[in-house]
């Protein structure tokens, strides 16, 4: 469709004319005119909703909301075209078969062997060995080898040594969806562990001897402690309501030596609505400070993030400081339980704060234990009530921790944002389906590629320059504060306003330091070369013209690097509620252009398809959410004087 | 008066000091004329705390049996608690502190007694003279002149003795204009934008009154900054209704009929008690140890602090935009022209002028646009957020400005030569200091108090190399461009460095700052070594070539 206008979300006055293309996998918008022919690419699987608004004189507006928080506003001149686009997109954005998803057609040009290597990068067996199991207290159980006991659990599961197959099967029958207590994290230092399960089918009075024995076995696996915590991550009211349906929570009288604890994290429906409300706040056009803060409070989002974090802190404290094992569950044990177990593991074990460890953590607590990725993130058309930003919340918890502990994580914000993006993109097979069983049946590993290998290949882009493996912050357990005035939970504009570049810091300390470190590395290499050369020269005392030539090449290269650092000074578009601020001064164009070329180099490599706008120019814009060149690429033709003055008056 | 009279108990033993994130320490408390000194008795790691009495905003005492507890709330927002055994001792100490922290005579303040322990390399009192500023200006334009019309402070008591005004307006006219402007604050040059020759002036409101008085000289002065055929903008920091109401009290605003080439824009920048209340509410929220997220967010919102930040930044960006993008001259004023006016003009300069983002340039900006421009520091900073007194002159006007600078700094972390710590330092010294810089309300008062002769300047101390190094931003790379910050709510954050300073564990952030420094230091070292080696190699090669030639 031609002559389509793409509106700028922050300023309705700015729009670009272009052509809209629909392909089997993407929506593509190509700008007319401008030399660069800026393109915007959106994967169909990223589309969360499409809204056709009332036709106006200028055309028919179409609003596309994406799961990675991009909002695209188009105006299509012909009503008929708009309707066609709308109908096609609705179909394309809601595939009904896994085979329709992008990962089955995505080919990053790797051969079979590389693909297999990629899938082997994250190996859970290795991970359990790293934790220190199997050992005297824990063993691997094959009770679920053909998913016979629990179809949403993995085949290989660690259980206490004293838990016989009889106990496990008995316990599984007393738990929702037969998700019996299994090991999530084992603390080598003091034998304390984190186990996870679903709720018991206790109703008002039911008991199960095997389940009680199972919990005993978990306690015995930690000889240093005479009780275990059972943490129910639901609000008490919800848990009590479940009793009427024959489910519920553990009765302290029936289980010996447990301490039972509720931690009120709300259910997926509350979280879905909360995110919805927060995104509405993000979408407000020129909100006042109170609109924003009130909206943020009213959405409850940060309260929920804090609840998850508090639960993680509680468990980490029990394990690290009290040396007490914890059994965590919610209702089914695949949403809140996954969040809380992974936050606690992250606080406890520095390994999970490395890039590789973080992949392992998601693989362990989320993918292998049957977090329902397909349902929660709506990869296939399904029940909208199943959709909920469960893992998004976990990712945000990690970001909040990164803000408080800037040196503790090996990876940077970009790493988190890219993982979030790919959970929805369906470009890689990792997050397909709802369980390991389904993934095996679909032969995911033979037919798709692994995101982890892709991220690992580009790990240089995701490094936190402040991280050092021998730093005190890197070691041991993290102890975050609890009160909001001590641990400031912030709105994460890097994620939720990811595509509104104008809102972000205009210079990124992370990118700056990454560039410095890269330069440092080059300097180190050059130093070595120079020293060697000097030694040779002094030895032989014979002239060598080649040296000189090479040296000149080097210095050229350094010139480039210096300007790479100074690109942090890129001028920015200034926009605010007056809408009157010109986008940018033409006289500053040079710097901006050079910035684009420079950032492109280090970002383009990472992921051309990740960005929604992904040709040379726009790819930079999207990926560089923390890059210093965050500003818009639009020239400022429309900062006409008349319109500006008119707005001043309004202001 | 002798300080000894005020000190009822000069010393108390077995006092326990409590601070957030520190273990309680037992030690001895001493009171001197200007300091509260606490030193731990432990010899292995003796710890001392020196607190200026003038830094104490309020104290609260509480008794449990004969154990008294004094909570000391400071102007830098820190709260410490002292457990003092013995009711009488505790009462004596509390009343001594109260008396010493509320001395009513300026000349009794610590700066008059402070003897520096460092060598003065450069006297800060004469580091930033307007004459130097004018010299720079005359190298690019000859449209302005220095006027000494106010040399005895008779034309405008809150102006400095020399000001920069348009060349075509003589001193006689200035005297007339002064009568037409509130407090005699006639329009003077605040900033000259070299890029396009546009000027930013500041003044107070015109005294039009209800019958629409006019002043031809004022019109001429204001118009003389305009290029022919171009228009200018008057940025009035008050909303229109407030400006209209001001007419009833003799104030007012520039009317279109008499200033046809000027477009007036009204902004809404709050003043005085509204800011002070907002400040108090915010600090209260930040000290609320409750674990409830909703409560925190609603208290933050109810304080309105970030709203003030957003309004102020927006107004400053607007002024900067008029100058840089519209190519228009700007006149900024509110009512008196000593508060919101200065906030706007100084922030606009941070945005426009790269020089103001250097340490030296920022100091010059503070001196020029705040101290010399007559911001009444002594009135505004007499009390901070814990004060119970209801005096109407206190307002965190300067703090608000510093926070806006911080907000811009956060968005452009590589464009400022100084760190956040430098801004925090200025905040502290504006409220309590051993230096005389922020005493007095204007140059007139400072001259009468003979501050330059009797006290040390903050700049004398800060501009020594060893201090400067502490405030250097390792990420700084000179950025000659105009920097446009975002003022969207998503882009503005609470200034944790000030408001959560005493309430958060700072260890991790300090480590991060140290690591940043290390990375850059190491890079620079390597660069130097590589360059040295290159030179060495080049020399050898040259030698060899010469040998070959021979």
What's the average model confidence in pLDDT over A176-186?
97
> If you measure CA to CA, which chain A residue comes closest to B489?
A289
Find chain A residues with C-beta within 8 A of B489's C-beta.
287-289, 291-293
Residue A51 dihedral angles phi and psi, to the nearest 5°: -130, 125
Residue A110 to residue A102: CA distance in whole angstroms: 16
Rounded-to-integer distance, Cα B32 and Cα B485, Å? 46
Residue B243 lies in a domain: yes
Per DSSP, B418 falls in state B
What confidence score (pLDDT) does residue A554 get? 38
pLDDT reported for residue A619: 27
- Residue positions forming the annotated binding site of A for substrate: 267-268, 330-336
Place of tokens 């800011």: B275
Kindly provide the b/e burial profile for residues B191-221, where b requires at least 16 CB atoms within 10 angstroms of the residue's own CB.
bbbeeeebbbbbbbbbbbeeeebebebbbeb
pLDDT, average across residues A618-641: 29
**Residue A198: phi, psi to the nearest 5?**
-105, 180
Residues of B in contact with A520 (CB under 8 A): 519, 522-523, 526
Contact A591, A570 (CB under 8 A): yes
DSSP class of residue A56 equals B
Q: What is the least distance, in Å, from the CA of A493 to any CA of chain B?
A: 6
Question: CA A35 to CA A29: how far, in whole Å?
Answer: 15
Average pLDDT over residues B235-247: 96
Between B239 and A591, name the one with better pLDDT: B239
Q: Which residues from A are below 8 Å from B321, CB to CB?
A: 574, 580-582
B503-523 exposure pattern, b = at least 16 Cβ within 10 A, e = fewer: bbeeebbebbbebbeebbeeb
More confident residue, A629 or A432: A432
ipTM score for this prediction: 0.94
Q: Is the dihedral of CA B454, B458, B462, B463 positive or negative?
A: negative
Q: Based on the fold, state whether residues B311 and B260 are members of the same structural domain.
A: yes
**Taking all residues of chain B, what is their mean pLDDT, rounded to a whole number?**
93
Q: What is the pLDDT of residues B276-315, one digit of tens each?
A: 999 999 999 999 888 788 889 999 999 999 999 999 999 9
Task: Check residue B161 and report its DSSP letter.
Answer: S
Partner-chain contact B489 A489, CB within 8 Å: no
Mind telling me how many Å the CA of A564 is from chain B's nearest CA? 11
Residues B160 and B98 reside in one and the same domain:
no
Show the domains of chain A with their CATH numbers: 4-94 (2.30.29.30), 112-501 (no CATH)
**How many CA atoms lie within 13 Å of A353's alpha carbon, on the beta-carbon side?**
30
**Which pLDDT score is estimated for A585?**
31
Taking only residues 244 to 283 of chain B, the set having a beta carbon closer than 8 angstroms to any beta carbon of chain A reads 263, 265, 267
Q: What is the mean pLDDT of residues A356-360?
A: 98
Calculate mean pLDDT across residues A2-10: 73
pLDDT at A571 over 50: no
Q: How confident is the model at residue B215 (pLDDT cuts 50, 70, 90)?
A: very high
Identify whether residues B212 and B97 lie together within a single domain. no
Tokens of A349: 């074990």
Considering the entire predicted model, what is its pTM? 0.90
Mean pLDDT of B489-513: 91
What is the pLDDT at residue A9?
62
Give the number of other CB atoms < 10 A from CB of residue A91.
12
Strand A15-22 relative to strand A4-7: parallel, antiparallel, unpaired?
antiparallel
Q: Share the mean pLDDT of chain A.
A: 82
Would the pLDDT of A558 be above 80? no
Which helix (H) or strand (E) segment holds residue A48: the answer is strand A47-52
B232 and B312 both lie in a single domain: yes
What crossing angle do the helices spanning B305-324 and B293-303 adopt, rounded to 10°? 50
Range of lowest pLDDT (A86-100, A357-371, A382-396, A563-577): A563-577
Q: Looking at residue A10, what is its pLDDT?
A: 57
Q: Helix (H, G, I), strand (E, B), or coil: what is residue A195? A: strand
> Cα–Cα distances in Å, from A201 out to A171, A209, A244, B527?
10, 13, 10, 67
How crowded is the C-beta side of B125, counted as CA atoms within 13 Å? 15
Q: Answer for the pair B177, B192: CB distance below 8 angstroms, yes or no.
A: no
Per-residue pLDDT, A541: 62
Asked if pLDDT for residue B491 goes beyond 90, the answer is: yes
Boundary of a domain, candidates B103, B138, B156: B103
Average pLDDT of span B321-343: 96
Residue B322 pLDDT > 60: yes
What number of other Cβ atoms are within 10 A of residue A215's Cβ? 26
Residues B165 and B292 in one domain: yes
**Mean per-residue pLDDT, B140-162:** 96
Res. A583: pLDDT tops 60: no
**Euclidean distance between CA atoms B287 and A485, whole angstroms:** 7
A573 vs B498, higher pLDDT? B498
Residues 6+ apart with CB under 8 A from A589: A635
Write out the catalytic residue numbers of A: 330
Residue among A488, A569, A649 minimizing CB distance to B496: A488
Measured between alpha carbons, how far is B428 from A551 in angstroms, rounded to an integer?
Answer: 51
Q: Which residues pair with B28 in a beta bridge?
A: B39
A511-525, A580-594, B193-207, B411-425, range with the lowest pLDDT: A580-594
State the Cα–Cα distance between residues A84 and B171, nearest whole angstrom.
74
Out of A12-21, A262-271, A356-365, B482-491, least confident range: A12-21
HSE-CB at A64 with a 13 A cutoff on CA atoms is 32
- Residues B410, B493 contacting (CB under 8 angstroms): yes
- Asked if the model's pLDDT at residue A650 lies above 60, the reply is no
B11 phi and psi angles, rounded to 5 deg: -155, 140
Q: How confident is the model at residue A368 (pLDDT cuts 50, 70, 90)?
A: very high
- Range with the poorest average pLDDT among A250-259, A274-283, A369-378, B505-514: B505-514
Contact A478, A405 (CB under 8 A): yes
Among A148, A241, A227, smallest CA distance to A199 is for: A241
d(CA B334, CA B344): 10
Instruction: Confirm whether B89 is domain-assigned.
Output: yes
- The enclosing H or E element of B281 equals helix B272-286
For residue B6, is pLDDT > 50?
Answer: yes
Q: What is the CA radius of gyration of chain A?
A: 27
Residue A13's pLDDT band (cuts 50, 70, 90) = low
Domain end among B485, B500, B515:
B500
**Is the residue at B51 inside a domain?**
yes
- For residues B206 and B275, membership in a common domain is answered with yes
Query: Would you say residue B540 lies in a domain?
Result: no
pLDDT category, A151, cuts 50, 70, 90? very high
Q: How far apart are CA B449 and CA B434, in angstroms?
A: 16
Closest CB from B511, B515, B540 relative to A537 = B540
Report yes or no on B546 lying in a domain.
Answer: no
Task: Considering only CA atoms, give the Rg of chain B.
Answer: 26
Q: Do A294 and B527 touch (CB under 8 A)?
A: no
Question: Using omega within 30 degrees of 0 as the cis cutoff, is the peptide bond preceding B207 cis?
Answer: no
Q: What is the pLDDT confidence band of residue A533, given thresholds at 50, 70 and 90?
A: confident
DSSP H/E element including A537: helix A509-540
Number of domains into which chain B is organized: 2
Q: What is the CATH number of the domain that holds B62?
A: 2.30.29.30
**Residue A527: half-sphere exposure toward Cβ, Cα within 13 Å:** 15
Instruction: Summarize the confidence of residues A526-550 as an average pLDDT.
Output: 70
Residue B98 and residue B136 in one domain:
no
Average pLDDT over residues A350-368: 97
Residues B511-515, mean pLDDT to the nearest whole number? 92
Q: Within this chain, do residues B305 and B374 fall inside the same structural domain, yes or no?
A: yes
Percent of chain B with pLDDT over 70: 99
Contacts of B534 in chain A (CB under 8 A): 530, 551, 555
B485 CB neighbours in chain A (<8 A) are 506, 572, 574
pLDDT at A623: 25
pLDDT reported for residue A308? 97
Which of A524, A531, A538 minimises the CB distance to B533? A531
Distances from the Cα of B206 to the Cαs of A457, B343, B442, in angstroms?
67, 19, 21
Q: pLDDT confidence of A3, banded at 50, 70, 90?
A: confident
Query: Does residue B147 belong to any structural domain of this protein?
Result: yes
pLDDT for A485 equals: 76
B250-271 burial, b at 16+ Cβ within 10 Å, e below that, comes to ebbbbeeebbebbbbbbbbbbb
Does the pLDDT of residue B508 top 80, yes or no? Answer: yes
Residue A569 has pLDDT above 70, yes or no: no
Claim to verify: residue B151 and residue B58 sit in the same structural domain: no
Q: Identify which has the larger pLDDT, A91 or B343.
A: B343
Between the two ends of chain B, the Cα-to-Cα distance in Å is 87
A502: closest CA of chain B, how far (Å): 7
Contact (Cβ atoms closer than 8 angstroms) between residue A532 and residue A525:
no
A527:B533 CB<8 A: yes
Mean pLDDT of B109-123: 93
Region B50-77: mean pLDDT is 94
Q: Is the pLDDT assigned to residue A562 strictly greater than 60? A: no
Which pair of structure tokens corresponds to residue B32?
Answer: 């001197």
pLDDT digits (tens, 9 = 90+) for A313-330: 999 999 999 999 999 999
Peptide bond into A134 cis (omega under 30): yes
Q: What share of chain A in percent tops pLDDT 70?
A: 81
Compute CA B155 distance to the chain's CA centroid, rounded to the nearest angstrom: 26
* Rounded mean pLDDT, A169-190: 96
B123 part of a folded domain: no
Contact yes or no for B519 and A488 at CB 8 A: no
Of B300, B301, B548, the CB nearest to A543: B548
- A147 φψ region: left (φ > 0), alpha (ψ -120 to 50), beta (else): left
Same domain, B138 and B57: no
Looking at CA atoms only, how far is residue B497 from chain A in angstroms? 12
Question: Which domain range does residue B52 map to?
Answer: 4-103
* Structural domain includes residue B308: yes
CB contact under 8 A, A303 and B294: yes
Sequence-distant (≥ 6) Cβ neighbours of residue A102 within 8 angstroms = A25, A43, A44, A45, A425, A426, A427
pLDDT at res. A611: 35
Per-residue pLDDT reduced to its tens digit, A492-525: 999 999 888 888 888 999 999 999 999 999 999 9
3-state helix, strand, coil in chain B (%, to 5): 45, 15, 40
In terms of pLDDT, which residue wins out, B341 or A628? B341
Q: Which residue has the higher pLDDT, B153 or A8?
A: B153
- Give the per-residue pLDDT at B547: 76
Question: Please, which pLDDT band fits residue A589 given cuts at 50, 70 and 90?
Answer: very low
Strands B329-333 and B198-202: parallel
Residue A111 is predicted with a pLDDT of 85
DSSP letter (8 states) at residue A276: H
B163 and B84 housed in the same domain: no
| Residue B65: pLDDT over 90 | no
pLDDT tens per residue, range B153-185: 999 999 999 999 999 999 999 999 999 999 999
Are B237 and B333 within 8 A, CB to CB? yes
Q: Are A199 and A248 in contact (CB under 8 A)?
A: yes
Q: Do residue B267 and residue B383 come from a single domain?
A: yes
């Amino acid at each position: 469709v031609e002559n389509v206008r793409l509106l700028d979300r922050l300023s309705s006055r700015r729009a670009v004319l272009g052509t809209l293309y629909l392909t089997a996998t993407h929506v593509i918008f190509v700008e007319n005119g401008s030399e660069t022919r800026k393109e915007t690419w959106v994967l169909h699987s990223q589309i969360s909703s499409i809204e056709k608004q009332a036709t106006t004189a200028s055309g028919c507006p179409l609003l596309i909301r994406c799961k990675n928080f991009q909002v695209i506003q188009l105006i299509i001149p012909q009503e008929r075209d708009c309707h066609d686009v709308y109908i096609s997109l609705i179909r394309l954005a809601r595939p009904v078969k896994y085979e329709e998803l992008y990962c089955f057609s995505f080919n990053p040009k790797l051969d079979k062997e590389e693909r297999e290597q990629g899938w082997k990068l994250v190996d859970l067996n290795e991970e359990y060995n790293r934790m220190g199991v199997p050992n005297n207290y824990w063993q691997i159980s094959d009770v679920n080898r053909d998913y016979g006991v629990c179809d949403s659990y993995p085949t290989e599961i660690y259980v206490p040594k004293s838990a016989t197959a009889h106990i496990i099967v008995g316990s599984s029958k007393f738990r929702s969806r037969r998700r019996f207590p299994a090991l999530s994290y084992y603390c080598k230092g003091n034998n304390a562990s984190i186990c996870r399960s679903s709720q018991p089918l206790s109703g008002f009075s039911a008991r199960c001897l095997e389940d009680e024995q199972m919990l005993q076995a978990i306690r015995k696996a930690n000889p240093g402690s005479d009780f275990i915590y059972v943490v129910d991550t639901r609000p008490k009211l919800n848990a009590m309501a479940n009793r009427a349906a024959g489910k519920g929570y553990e009765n302290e009288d029936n289980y010996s030596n447990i301490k039972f604890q509720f931690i009120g994290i709300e259910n997926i429906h509350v979280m879905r609505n909360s995110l919805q409300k927060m995104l509405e706040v993000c979408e407000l056009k020129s909100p006042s400070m109170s609109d924003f803060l009130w909206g943020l409070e009213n959405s409850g989002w940060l309260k929920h993030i804090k609840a998850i974090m508090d639960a993680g802190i509680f468990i980490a404290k029990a394990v690290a400081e009290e040396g007490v094992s914890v059994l965590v569950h919610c209702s089914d044990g695949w949403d809140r339980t996954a969040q809380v177990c992974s936050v606690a593991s992250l606080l406890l074990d520095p390994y999970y704060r490395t890039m590789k460890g973080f992949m392992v953590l998601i693989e362990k607590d989320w993918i292998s234990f049957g977090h329902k990725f397909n349902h929660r993130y709506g990869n296939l058309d399904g029940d909208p009530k199943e959709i909920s930003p469960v893992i998004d919340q976990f990712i945000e918890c990690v970001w909040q921790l990164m803000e408080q502990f800037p040196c503790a994580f090996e990876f940077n914000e970009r790493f988190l944002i890219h993982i979030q993006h790919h959970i929805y993109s369906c470009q890689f097979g990792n997050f397909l389906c709802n369980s390991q069983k389904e993934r095996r049946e679909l032969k995911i590993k033979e037919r798709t590629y692994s995101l982890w290998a892709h991220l690992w290949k580009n790990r240089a882009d995701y490094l936190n320059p402040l991280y050092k493996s021998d730093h005190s912050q890197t070691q041991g357990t993290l102890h975050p504060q609890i009160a909001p005035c001590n641990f400031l939970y912030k709105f994460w504009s890097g994620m939720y306003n990811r595509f509104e570049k104008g809102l972000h810091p205009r210079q990124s300390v992370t990118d700056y330091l990454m560039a410095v470190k890269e330069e440092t590395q080059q300097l180190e290499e050059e130093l070595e070369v120079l020293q060697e050369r000097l030694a040779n020269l002094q030895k032989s005392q014979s002239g060598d013209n080649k040296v000189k030539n090479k040296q000149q090449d080097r210095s050229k290269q350094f010139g480039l690097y210096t300007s790479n650092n100074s690109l942090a000074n890129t001028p920015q578009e200034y926009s605010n509620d007056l809408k009157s601020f010109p986008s940018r001064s033409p006289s500053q164009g040079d710097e901006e252009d050079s910035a684009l070329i420079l950032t492109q180099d280090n970002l383009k490599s990472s992921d051309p398809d990740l960005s929604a706008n992904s040709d040379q120019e726009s790819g930079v814009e999207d990926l560089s959410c923390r890059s210093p060149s965050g500003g818009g690429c639009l020239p400022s033709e429309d900062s006409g004087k008349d319109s500006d003055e008119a707005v001043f008056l309004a202001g | 008066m002798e300080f000894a009279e005020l000190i009822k108990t000069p010393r108390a033993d077995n006092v326990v000091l409590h601070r957030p994130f520190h273990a309680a320490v037992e030690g001895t408390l001493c009171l001197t004329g200007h300091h509260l000194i606490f030193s731990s008795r432990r010899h292995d790691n003796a710890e001392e705390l020196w607190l200026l009495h003038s830094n104490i905003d309020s104290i609260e005492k509480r008794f449990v049996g004969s154990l008294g507890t004094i909570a000391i709330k400071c102007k830098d927002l820190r709260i410490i608690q002292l457990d003092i055994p013995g009711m009488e001792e505790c009462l004596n100490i509390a009343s001594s502190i109260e008396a010493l922290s509320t001395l009513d005579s300026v000349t009794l303040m610590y700066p008059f007694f402070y003897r520096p322990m460092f060598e003065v390399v450069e006297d800060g009192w004469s580091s930033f003279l307007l004459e130097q500023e004018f010299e720079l200006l005359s190298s690019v334009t000859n449209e302005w002149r220095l006027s000494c019309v106010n040399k005895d402070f008779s034309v405008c008591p809150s102006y400095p003795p020399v000001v920069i005004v348009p060349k075509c307006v003589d001193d006689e006219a200035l005297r007339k204009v002064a009568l037409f402007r509130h407090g005699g604050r006639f329009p003077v040059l605040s900033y000259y934008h070299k890029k396009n020759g546009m000027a930013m002036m500041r003044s107070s409101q015109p005294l039009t009154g209800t019958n629409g008085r006019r002043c031809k000289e004022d019109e001429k002065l204001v118009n003389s900054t305009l290029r022919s055929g171009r228009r200018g903008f008057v940025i009035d920091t008050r909303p229109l209704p407030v400006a209209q109401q001001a007419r009833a009290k003799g104030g007012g605003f520039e009317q279109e009929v008499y200033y046809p080439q000027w477009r007036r824009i009204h902004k809404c920048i709050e003043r005085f008690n509204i800011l002070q209340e907002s400040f108090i509410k915010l600090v209260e929220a930040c000290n609320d140890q409750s674990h409830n997220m909703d409560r925190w967010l609603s208290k933050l919102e109810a304080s309105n602090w970030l709203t003030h930040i957003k309004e102020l930044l927006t107004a400053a960006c607007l002024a900067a935009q008029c100058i840089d993008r519209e190519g228009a001259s700007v006149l900024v004023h509110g009512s008196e022209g000593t508060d919101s006016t200065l906030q706007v003009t100084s922030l606009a300069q941070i945005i426009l002028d790269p020089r103001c983002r250097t340490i030296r340039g920022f100091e010059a900006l503070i001196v020029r646009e705040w101290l010399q421009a007559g911001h009444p520091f002594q009135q505004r900073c007499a009390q901070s957020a814990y004060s119970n007194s209801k005096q109407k002159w206190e307002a965190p006007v300067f703090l608000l400005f510093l926070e806006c600078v911080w907000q811009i700094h956060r968005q452009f972390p590589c464009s400022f030569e100084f760190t956040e710590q430098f801004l925090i330092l200025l905040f502290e010294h504006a409220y309590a200091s051993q230096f005389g810089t922020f005493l007095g309300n204007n140059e007139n008062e400072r001259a009468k108090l003979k501050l330059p002769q009797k006290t040390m300047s903050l700049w004398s101390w800060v501009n020594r190399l060893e201090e400067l190094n502490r405030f250097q931003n390792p990420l700084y790379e000179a950025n000659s461009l105009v920097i446009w910050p975002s003022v969207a709510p998503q882009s503005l954050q609470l200034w944790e460095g000030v408001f959560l300073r005493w309430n958060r564990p700072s260890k991790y952030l300090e480590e991060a700052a140290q690591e940043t420094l290390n990375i850059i230091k190491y890079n620079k070292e390597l660069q130097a070594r590589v360059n040295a080696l290159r030179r060495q190699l080049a020399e050898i090669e040259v030698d060899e070539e010469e040998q070959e030639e021979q």
